[in-house]
Structure 1
Amino acid sequence: MALLHESLYRSGVFTSVDLSTYLKELCTQAFRTLSAQNGLVRLQLDLTAVHVSMDQATPCGLLVNELVSNSLKHAFPDGHSGTISISLHGIANSKQVLLTVSDDGIGFSDDFEIKRTQSLGLQLVGDLARQLKGKLTIESGSGTIFSVSFTPDQAKSAGSA
């Protein structure tokens, strides 16, 4: 939350937030704080400027932070190396954007659906996606991909006035 407020004050615009800038700062700080992998896990960002209100920036930040934390804790056991990727892009021929957090770690176990209903963190991710009025999809195999598609409540391109 402090990062979000700092971004607002730095920009001088209090009605919208550039989600790409906010997520870059958030992910970089969260990664530094949470990564105990001694450089074995990399962070990859592919973010396009998307402007949203505070009402959407907050759940986006919480959602991404939760997923990055989960990946760092569970996706790379026993010193495995890998990459956590965060992307944010517009969906072609749509007003929606797609926010994706993925890793190339070990993926989910076979009993994932049972654990999903019992995991507070994954329940939180679902609740945050609903707060965005978005659609959450989860894929697992060689790694895990969480995607949320949603419509920005203040859709502006980076160059708009």
Structure 2
Amino acid sequence: MSNLDVATGSEREAMAPTSHTTEVGGALALAVIAVSRAPLLLMDEQFTVVAASETFLQAFALNSDAVRGRSIFALGDGEWNLPRLHSLLEAVGSGDAEVADYQLEMSVKGAAPRSLRLNAERLAFSDAMPVRLLLTIVDVTALNATQRKMDDLVRQKEVLLQEVQHRVANSLQIIASVLLQSARKVASVESRAHLTEAHNRVLSVAEVQRQLSLTQVGDVALKPYLTQLCNSIAASMVADHEQLRIEVDGDGSTVDSEVSVSVGLIVTELVINALKHAFPKGRKGVVSVDYRSRSEGWELAVSDDGVGMPKTRGVAESGLGTAIVTALASQLAASITVEDLAPGTKVSVKHLEAGTEPEPLPAV
């Protein structure tokens, strides 16, 4: 019996040539490329096309005979001969890079430019099999064009929204002026009070709308927004700025425009209320506005160092302003607390995120 006859199965496998395994692996790779639904190119280390998927051929109007065995840079009418593509494939072929979602603009003779998204990978399975480069090419020209149209529409919408906010603010200020003129003309004290109250309500909404019309659509930085809002209120309601001041403090919190409207209206109501009632008979003082955001939620506080709340008057009986603030706070899922600062009053509007425990309230 010869040595070959007594060799074990594993020895016979080790002694068998590797060409068969290589051929099977290569054939399998070509079969996968052929049936792939993705636009694929399989190349050797010299960037010669070994195989191309049918999807690639259809996407770029090429036939298999004009692609296989040719350099990728020679495909078509030379539109693939791009310096950036050279650099990309050389980096991938050397093993120094693996490219994902690489954006490439391709100029096509007699047609509009095409936007391509490339993914490139170096394939090296074993020493017995040659190195291959796998390139996926997706034409995203139509997708990018659609995205640009959407971006343009969003920008147009933002411009229109700001214009609408500006016009609404102007209209509200006109209405407020008419109400104030009417209040000055009527003889009835009760009617004058109602008209003045309506003027203040419309004015508060107008100030919020005016500030929003000056703010970019999207998230609103609250501290500068509230600062401008309070400056506008002070300009219309405070005759002597040495006597009464409105100070705004806070962190760098931002909120969406819908929340900023509610917060702005709450601040306007509370500040106007403090200016009207906390400083009678020429009393000097300061109204302070502060907004802070933390992981457990946010808190808005409006305080003054005025005469404080009447001892005989409950919070629920404080009038239309309180009803408006209460409704707005409810929309924000926030609670309201009133604290006697002696002197002065502090109104806090606090929102807690779901699952957090409220802090104990201080004694009033």
Q: Establish whether TM, by shorter chain, passes 0.5.
A: yes
Q: Higher strand proportion, which one?
A: 1
The one of 46, 56, 65 aligned to 2:249: 46
Structure 2 CA distance, aligned partners of 1:116 and 1:53? 30
Residue 147 of structure 1 is matched in structure 2 by 348
Structure 1 CA distance, aligned partners of 2:254 and 2:308? 32
In structure 1, stretches of 5+ residues that fail to align are 9-13, 153-161
Structure 1 CA distance, aligned partners of 2:335 and 2:222? 18
**Distance verdict in 2 for CA 1:116–1:35, change over 3 Å:** farther
Q: Is residue 34 from structure 1 mapped to residue 237 from structure 2 by the alignment?
A: yes
Consecutive aligned runs of 4 or more in structure 1 exceeding 4 Å deviation: none
Deviation at 1:110, TM superposition (A): 1.1
**Distance verdict in 2 for CA 1:118–1:102, change over 3 Å:** closer
Deviation at 1:118, TM superposition (A): 5.4
Residue 334 of structure 2 is matched in structure 1 by 134
Deviation at 1:48, TM superposition (A): 1.2
Q: Is residue 96 from structure 1 mapped to residue 297 from structure 2 by the alignment?
A: yes
Q: If the length of structure 1 is used for normalisation, what is the TM-score?
A: 0.82
Contact 1:37/1:79 (<8 A) preserved: no
Deviation sequence 1:7-65 (CA, Å, 0-9, x none): 12xxxxx2211111211110111111111345211222212121111211001111101
Question: What is the aligned residue count?
Answer: 144
What is the one-letter code of the residue matched to 1:137?
T
Structure 2 CA distance, aligned partners of 1:70 and 1:149? 19
The one of 68, 71, 79 aligned to 2:282: 79
Q: Higher helix proportion, which one?
A: 2
Structure 2 CA distance, aligned partners of 1:30 and 1:126? 21
SS in structure 2 at match of 1:142: coil
Contact 1:31/1:68 (<8 A) preserved: no
In structure 2, stretches of 5+ residues that fail to align are 1-208, 354-364
Deviation at 1:131, TM superposition (A): 1.3
What is the one-letter code of the residue matched to 2:299?
L
Structure 2 CA distance, aligned partners of 1:111 and 1:56? 34
SS in structure 2 at match of 1:88: strand
Q: If the length of structure 2 is used for normalisation, what is the TM-score?
A: 0.38
Deviation sequence 1:59-114 (CA, Å, 0-9, x none): 111110111111111000001101110111124xx34111110000000011221x
Residue 21 of structure 1 is matched in structure 2 by 224
Bigger RCO (CA 8 Å, 6+ sep) = 1
Structure 2 CA distance, aligned partners of 1:85 and 1:4? 21
SS in structure 2 at match of 1:112: coil
Structure 1 CA distance, aligned partners of 2:318 and 2:246? 28
**Distance verdict in 2 for CA 1:66–1:60, change over 3 Å:** same
Contact 1:107/1:143 (<8 A) preserved: yes
In the TM superposition, 1:59-78 aligns within 5 A as 59-78=262-281
What is the one-letter code of the residue matched to 1:33?
S
What is the one-letter code of the residue matched to 1:72?
L
Structure 1 CA distance, aligned partners of 2:297 and 2:256? 15
Structure 2 CA distance, aligned partners of 1:15 and 1:52? 8
| Percent sequence identity over aligned pairs | 33
Bigger Rg over Cα: 2
Structure 2 CA distance, aligned partners of 1:118 and 1:104? 18
Deviation sequence 1:116-150 (CA, Å, 0-9, x none): 33501111111111111111111123101011112
Cα RMSD (Å): 1.8
Q: Is residue 120 from structure 1 mapped to residue 294 from structure 2 by the alignment?
A: no
**Distance verdict in 2 for CA 1:4–1:95, change over 3 Å:** farther
